[in-house]
Chain A
Amino acid sequence: MPAVWRSLPINCHVVGRSLDAGLMRGPLSSPATLKVRDARRDICLLHVDSSPAFTPEIGRAETLKVGDTVYAVGFGVGRLTTSVGQVEALYPYEGSVVVRTSAAFPMGASGGALFDSNKRLVGILTFYRHGHETHAYYALPIEWATQLANSTQTLDNALASPFWEEPADVQPWFMQAAGHEIDGEWGKMLKVTERWVAAEPANTEARRALELARSKLQ
Chain B
Amino acid sequence: MDVFSTNFATIDWIIVMVYICIPVVIGVIVRKYVRQLSDFIVAGRSLRLFVAIATLTGTELGLVTVMYNAQLGFQHGFSAFHVGVIETVCILAIGLTGFIVYKLRELRVMTIPEFYEMKFGRTVRIVGGFLLALGGIMNMGLFLQAGARFMMGVTGYSNPAGLKIFMSVMLIMVLVYTVLGGMVSVVLNDFLQFIVLSIGMLIGSYFAITKIGWGNLFKAPEAVDKASWFNPVAEGSEFGTVYVIFMVVLTFSAGALWQSGTLRALAAKSPRVAKQLFAWGSISYLARRVIPMLWGICAFVFVSQTPKLLSAFQGPDAIKSEFGMPIFIAKILPSGFIGLIAAGMFAAFMSTHDSYLLSWSSVITQDIVAPFKKGDLSDKSRILITRISIVCIGLFLLIWGLWFEAPVSLWNYMAVTGTIYLAGAFTVVTAGLYWKKASKTGAMIALFAGLLAFGGIGPWTRGDNVPFYASDKFISLMTFAIAILGMIIGSLLFPDKEKQAEVSQ
Mutual binders A and B: no
